Structure 1
Amino acid sequence: MVTMDTGFYIAEACGDADDTTVHYGKERHFANLQVIAVVGSDGQKCDLIFLEDGQRLNSFTYVEFLRRKVFPWARATYGESWWLQHDGASCHTSKFTQQFLRTEAPGFFPKEAWPPHSPDAAPMDYAIFGRLKSSL
């Protein structure tokens, strides 16, 4: 099983957890960092994928990340014996993405089989991203 998800991080919030400095002044717009993490059920992990500043994750960019980064890593790690699990984000459930997965993924859970709004079924939400955030 290969699970993946995206996470957003505010660059200003990364770093020294003991820094209690209060910043006053004009409203600031912090840089966001968007990361795609991919982890196998056996603990194997793909290198983090960082989206460029301002890059939006939509069905087309998501499929490109799958095609160029995720699938090559998963095939090198597990051969053709793996399933892709992701959440109900619109870029995951679009017709374009679902059609791509039907033809290219060795196995995946189609959107009809995925429980809506269920963090219990998304290991990235309840186990992985919390650890990633605490290490930044």
Structure 2
Amino acid sequence: MSEGHTQHPEKVNVWAGIVGDRVIGPIFFQENLTGARYLEFLQKDLVPNLAILFPCPIEADVPNRNIWFQQDGAPSHFARPVREYLNDVYPGRWIGRRGPYEWPPRSPDSTPLDFFLWGYLKSKVFKTKPANIEDLKEGMRQECRLISDEVIRNVQNEFQLRLGYCQLVNGHFEYLLTKDY
């Protein structure tokens, strides 16, 4: 984005996910993402759409039982109502701050969004220097649509390798990696 002088700089919060071989999003939030806004997004948008994209057999007693949900430690993700909702929808199958599987604070950038998606989008979108927030959003949407299945498969394989490296060296390992996508 070409930045001009303003008293109040524009900003936008972005959510995205990688599920299987596809990128979900980006989803934009104009206002700060509070726990209440995030919970509403999960309840009304994300979880119902994931159930449609990845249906369980009708006889399944737990909806979404074939999905594991992972999130980072953002304050909105840590809100008690959010954690309670995730416990109901993904019982024992979500990873995050104070979840059934704790994602450690200050952990290495081993998630696909951290080590791949955000940097990839930035490198692609900012080549054209978006003139405003709407151009930035449209550039992100377009670049997400252009990510190939092969790239996502490579990212998923890299994620598994990163988890293995992390276990092997018991912590930081990124200096061991030289991967291009």
Q: How high is the TM-score relative to the length of structure 2? A: 0.54
Unaligned 5+ segments in structure 1 are 1-10, 14-22
Task: Give identity over the alignment, percent.
Answer: 28
Unaligned 5+ segments in structure 2 are 56-63, 126-181
Give the aligned length: 112
Q: How high is the TM-score relative to the length of structure 1? A: 0.70
Q: Check conservation: 2:71, 2:77, Cα contact below 8 A.
A: yes
Q: Which residue of 2 aligns with 1:62?
A: 38
Are the structure 2 counterparts of residues 110 and 36 from structure 1 closer, same or farther at C-alpha, using a change threshold of 3 Å? closer
Q: Of residues 7, 11, 15 in structure 2, which corresponds to 1:36?
A: 15
Q: Which amino acid aligns with 1:104?
A: V
Cα distance in 1 between the residues matched to 2:88 and 2:44: 16
Q: Of residues 77, 83, 86 in structure 2, which corresponds to 1:101?
A: 86
Q: Give CA deviations for 1:22-45 in whole Å, capped at 9, x if unaligned.
A: x7xx565432222111211x2212
How far the C-alpha of 1:135 sits from its partner, in A, is 2.3
How far the C-alpha of 1:130 sits from its partner, in A, is 0.7
**Secondary structure at the counterpart of residue 14 of structure 2:** strand
**Secondary structure at the counterpart of residue 94 of structure 2:** coil
Q: Check conservation: 1:36, 1:48, Cα contact below 8 A.
A: yes
Q: Check conservation: 1:35, 1:50, Cα contact below 8 A.
A: yes
More helix by share: 2
More strand by share: 1
Are the structure 2 counterparts of residues 49 and 110 from structure 1 closer, same or farther at C-alpha, using a change threshold of 3 Å? closer
Cα distance in 2 between the residues matched to 1:12 and 1:33: 15
Cα distance in 2 between the residues matched to 1:109 and 1:63: 16
Q: Which residue of 2 aligns with 1:127?
A: 116
